[in-house]
Amino acid sequence: MHMKNTETIVWQDWDLSQIINGEEIMSPSPKKPHQKTSRKLQRILEDHVDDHDLGEIWNAPMDVIFEEDYNRLQPDLIFISKENEDISQDWIRGVPDMVVEIVSKSTMKMDTVIKKEIYERYGVQEYWLLKPEKRILEIYTLVDGRYELQALFGENDVVSSPLFHDLAFKLHIIF
């Protein structure tokens, strides 16, 4: 006789949900194009950050906890500067220096409106919105507590950032 194993696996330290404005949000895992773009951008940013000894780049799933049960987000990529490294212990508990969201049709409102407002409210210095389907990158910076569009890059443009001095790469290489 074959017995069916009914034991449930419980993940205690890993959860793909986010808490956004007090509501738990579950999302499916990203598709391959999203992951490929994320991986390529992460390599570029990691190389730059490591070469200049600026801090750390983290990738999802990594919780950024602004308020434990109210805003606990998982950006696609996260930069924590050396000066701010005390916020990254088990998770990131506090305000990262920069976050990247890779936008798809299904996450458009969440990334461009809801999460953008949250990152702005908590004071994330730089917010990158990468839109692979349109092959553009928008970089927002905080000015007097509000995000302003710092730059809009098309796929043939050379990306630069106020936060990452000397960073330069053609956007098309991450697609």
Please state which of the ranges 14-18, 96-100, 137-141 shows the lowest mean pLDDT.
14-18
152: left (phi over 0), alpha (psi -120 to 50) or beta: beta
Q: Are 125 and 152 in contact (CB under 8 A)?
A: no
Average pLDDT over residues 131-151: 97
For 39, the 3-state DSSP assignment is helix
The Cα–Cα gap between 54 and 80 comes to 8
Q: 45: part of which helix (H) or strand (E)? A: helix 32-51
Domain spans, the chain: 30-174
Q: Which CATH architecture has domain 30-174?
A: Alpha-Beta Complex (3.90)
Average pLDDT over residues 145-155: 97
Confidence of residue 23 (pLDDT cuts 50, 70, 90): confident
User: Considering the chain, what is the average pLDDT of its residues?
Assistant: 90
Average pLDDT over residues 140-164: 97
What pLDDT does residue 15 have? 54
Average pLDDT over residues 88-110: 93
Residue 33 φ then ψ, to 5°: -60, -40
What pLDDT does residue 3 have? 45
Cβ neighbours around 52 below 10 Å, total: 12
Average pLDDT over residues 57-85: 93
Higher pLDDT, 46 or 68: 46
Identity at 136, one-letter amino acid code? I
* pLDDT greater than 90 at residue 5: no
Q: Read off the DSSP letter of residue 88.
A: B
